[in-house]
Structure 1
Amino acid sequence: MSNPGFRVKKTFTRPEKALVESFRSIPVANIGDNMNRIGCMDSRIIPMNSSPLLGSAFTVKVRAGDNLLFHKAIDMAQPGDVVVVDAQAGHSYAITGELMVMWLRQRGVSGLIIDGCIRDTDFIRTLEDFPVYAIGASPNGPLKEGGGEINFPVMCGGIVVNPGDIIVGDADGVVVVNPSDAPEVLQKAQKQNEAEAQVMKAIKQNAWDRAWVDKVLEAKGCEFID
Structure 2
Amino acid sequence: MKNIGCRVVSDFKRPAKELVELFRDKQVANIDDCMNRTAAVMYDINPYNGSDVLGTAFTIKVPAGDNLMVHKAMDMIKPGDVVVIAAGGETERAILGELMITYMRSKGAAGILVDGCIRDASAISNMDIPVFAKGTSPNGPYKNGPGEINTIVCFGGQVVHPGDIVVGDRDGIIFIKPEDAEELAKDVIAVQEKEAKIMEGIVTKGIYPRPWVDQKLEEINCEIG
Interval of TM-score (by shorter of Structure 1 and Structure 2) = over 0.9
CA deviations over 1:32-69 (Å, ceiling 9, x no partner): 11011121101021111111100010000001000000
Pairs within 5 Å for 1:1-226: 1-127=1-127, 129-205=128-204, 206-224=206-224, 226=225
Taking the aligned partners of 2:168 and 2:17, their CA distance within structure 1 comes to 17
**How far apart are residue 220 of structure 1 and its match?**
2.6
CA deviations over 1:64-97 (Å, ceiling 9, x no partner): 0000000111111110000001111111100000
Residue identity opposite 2:214 in structure 1: D
Whether the 8 Å contact between 2:47 and 2:132 is mirrored in structure 1 is: yes
- The CA RMSD over aligned residues, in Å, is 1.0
CA deviations over 1:102-161 (Å, ceiling 9, x no partner): 01111111001111100000111112x210111000000000011000000011100010
Mark the runs of 5 or more structure 2 residues left unpaired by the alignment: none
Residue identity opposite 1:153 in structure 2: I
Mark the runs of 5 or more structure 1 residues left unpaired by the alignment: none
Task: Classify the secondary structure of the residue corresponding to 1:181.
Answer: helix
CA deviations over 1:8-37 (Å, ceiling 9, x no partner): 000111111010011011100000110111
Taking the aligned partners of 2:84 and 2:6, their CA distance within structure 1 comes to 17
Taking the aligned partners of 1:174 and 1:111, their CA distance within structure 2 comes to 12
Task: Classify the secondary structure of the residue corresponding to 1:90.
Answer: coil
Q: Tell me the percent identity.
A: 50
Taking the aligned partners of 1:181 and 1:156, their CA distance within structure 2 comes to 19
Taking the aligned partners of 1:48 and 1:157, their CA distance within structure 2 comes to 16
TM-score, scaled relative to structure 2:
0.97
**How far apart are residue 214 of structure 1 and its match?**
1.5
TM-score, scaled relative to structure 1:
0.96
Say how many residue pairs are matched. 224
Structure 1 runs (4+) deviating above 6 angstroms are none
**How far apart are residue 221 of structure 1 and its match?**
2.2
Residue identity opposite 2:70 in structure 1: F
**How far apart are residue 183 of structure 1 and its match?**
1.2
